[in-house]
Amino acid sequence: MNCWMNYIGTTPIGEDDFHVFRRLDDIVDPPARAWVLMDEREDSINDGLFQTNLKLRGVQARIVDFPASYHGRSAGIAFADGHAEIKRWRDRRTTPPLRARHHLELDVPSPDNPDVAWLQEHSSSPRAPVE
């Protein structure tokens, strides 16, 4: 599940700068953009959520958790408005070979990865600056 959907945890994920959606009404961008559930790689699963780092972008981007790519380098994704789609990953760093018996290293640099940028744009939305 997308960590930005009702995240309740002790580790800060950037909620000061981005929305944690608690209810459907909290999704300020169109709900069709916000993903809720996604296939995650079996060697990436370490908890009950799929974390996307929204603060580090572009050349500083990181992959925290890795999406599955069992469907021709693609993953099934369900969105907040109820539709689902198959998302094909474009960057090979998003779909490294599966590691039998070993856990994949998580939260790794992935500069300018278009797949990370897609996840960032579809995970949450920025909070308005406080004036």
DSSP letter string, 39-102: -B-TTT--SSSB----SS-GGG-EESS-B--TTTSEEEEEETTS-EEEEEP--GGGSPPP-TTS
Question: What pLDDT digit, counting tens, does each position of 37-66 carry?
Answer: 999 999 999 998 999 999 999 999 999 999
Residue 80 lies in a domain: yes
In a domain, residue 63? The reply is yes
Is residue 102 in a domain? yes
Domain that holds residue 85: 24-123
Residue 131 scores a pLDDT above 70 = no
Total number of domains in the chain: 1
DSSP structure class, residue 128: P
Q: Say yes or no to pLDDT of 82 above 90.
A: yes
In a domain, 130, yes or no: no
Average pLDDT, the chain: 91
Here the tokens at position 6 are 């009702």
What is the token pair recorded at 130?
């406080």
Its pTM stands at 0.91
